[in-house]
Amino acid sequence: MAAHTGDDRSGDRPAPLEKFLAAAERLASSSGIQATGWMRKGSWLFHAGTPVSAVYAVLDGSVIRRKAGLGGGEPLAVGLSSRGGILGLRTWLGSGCHRLSAQCVADSLICRIDIGDLDTVLAADRELERDLLAAVALDLGNAQERMLQVATLSVRDRLLIVLAQLSRDFTTMNDERALVLAPPVSRTDMAALAGMTPESLSRCIRALEAEGLAHFSRRHVVISSIARFRAALAEIGVAGDGAAGLALAC
């Protein structure tokens, strides 16, 4: 990993993430091995089929998780981890071998704790252990929620939820007070995250634009009325932009 430089926006990190970072930095000070650094867009944290070697925390940036399609098809996006995301923990608790691959889709500040040190870290900090286990439980609940959404919601509604999730970390406000999303993923990945085909995504985009809920350009999504967007989410049972989080996975 590259040297730890740049703006990591540390002031708004959740407490468990701060504890994880503090533990990693203590290990680094005693071993002399760098635990935190920037990884460039396109870099891989791990590949499916490889043994888990570390647990990673995303301090800034974004990491997409991909899984091979049934029958050996092209890997599909199954989740997105942005600031606060932790990767590898669920695999360490389970099979010990990654079932997904994880790749940075933006320059990302990543902190890692090697598996060989993790038992020692958690034995010394039971509160951090409980926080991480609680995050795993929350992540499993979110996975169940996503399965329910795919089974019960229309593709239009599922796209709204994905946009709401992206709005947590990838938005700015323009001069007209509209919300501007800059998704770090391709439309193919966005379709997979919403549980639909790229063709269905194209139809959903046209539908949302016809409703005036969002306008899609090549790199941005503009939500001109936040109030209308929130109301559309409320109609499908999602409060505000608090759709099921993507904070921790695999």
The string of DSSP codes covering 101-147 is: EEEESS-EEEEEEEHHHHHHHHHH-HHHHHHHHHHHHHHHHHHHHHH
Q: What is the dihedral of CA 17, 221, 138, 77, to 10 degrees?
A: -100
- Residue listed under structure tokens 């993507």: 246
The pLDDT value given to residue 154? 94
Q: Can you name the CATH fold of 10-149?
A: Jelly Rolls (2.60.120)
- Residue listed under structure tokens 């990543």: 110
The pLDDT-based confidence of 140 (bands split at 50, 70, 90) is confident
The pLDDT value given to residue 246? 28
Q: What is the side-by-side order of every strand in the sheet holding 101-104?
A: 44-46, 101-104, 63-67, 76-81
The pLDDT-based confidence of 180 (bands split at 50, 70, 90) is very high
What percentage of the chain reaches a pLDDT higher than 70? 90
The pLDDT value given to residue 181? 93
- Residue listed under structure tokens 């635990």: 35
Please determine, for residue 244, whether its predicted confidence score (pLDDT) is greater than 60.
no
Residue pair 158/149 in contact (Cβ under 8 Å)? The answer is yes
Please determine, for residue 73, whether its predicted confidence score (pLDDT) is greater than 90.
no
- In terms of Cβ atoms closer than 10 Å to its own Cβ (0-12, 13-18, 19+), residue 16 is buried
Evaluated on CA atoms 159, 75, 133, 84, the torsion sign reads: negative
The pLDDT value given to residue 30? 87
In whole numbers, what is the pLDDT of the chain averaged over residues? 87
The pLDDT value given to residue 10? 57
* Closest to 135 measured CA to CA, from 179, 193, 89: 89
The pLDDT-based confidence of 161 (bands split at 50, 70, 90) is very high
Q: How confident is the model over 239-247, as a mean pLDDT? A: 40
Query: In the numeric block, which tokens belong to residue 91?
Result: 């695999």
Please determine, for residue 37, whether its predicted confidence score (pLDDT) is greater than 50.
yes
The pLDDT value given to residue 46? 96
**Lowest-pLDDT range of 1-15, 113-127, 189-203:** 1-15
Q: How confident is the model over 189-206, as a mean pLDDT? A: 95
Please determine, for residue 1, whether its predicted confidence score (pLDDT) is greater than 90.
no
Please determine, for residue 195, whether its predicted confidence score (pLDDT) is greater than 60.
yes
The pLDDT-based confidence of 22 (bands split at 50, 70, 90) is very high
Report the b/e string of 78-94 with b at 16+ CB within 10 A.
Answer: bbbbbbbbbbbbbbbee
Taking the domains of the chain in order of start, what are their residue ranges? 10-149, 154-243
CB atoms within 10 A of CB 30: 9
H-run or E-run covering 63 = strand 63-67
The pLDDT-based confidence of 104 (bands split at 50, 70, 90) is very high
Indicate the class that CATH gives domain 154-243: mainly alpha
Query: In the numeric block, which tokens belong to residue 123?
Result: 């034995």
What percentage of the chain reaches a pLDDT higher than 90? 59
Please determine, for residue 9, whether its predicted confidence score (pLDDT) is greater than 80.
no
Q: How confident is the model over 186-196, as a mean pLDDT? A: 94
The pLDDT value given to residue 2? 54
The pLDDT value given to residue 248? 33
Would strands 248-249 and 86-87 be described as parallel, antiparallel, or unpaired? parallel
Q: How confident is the model over 176-200, as a mean pLDDT? A: 92
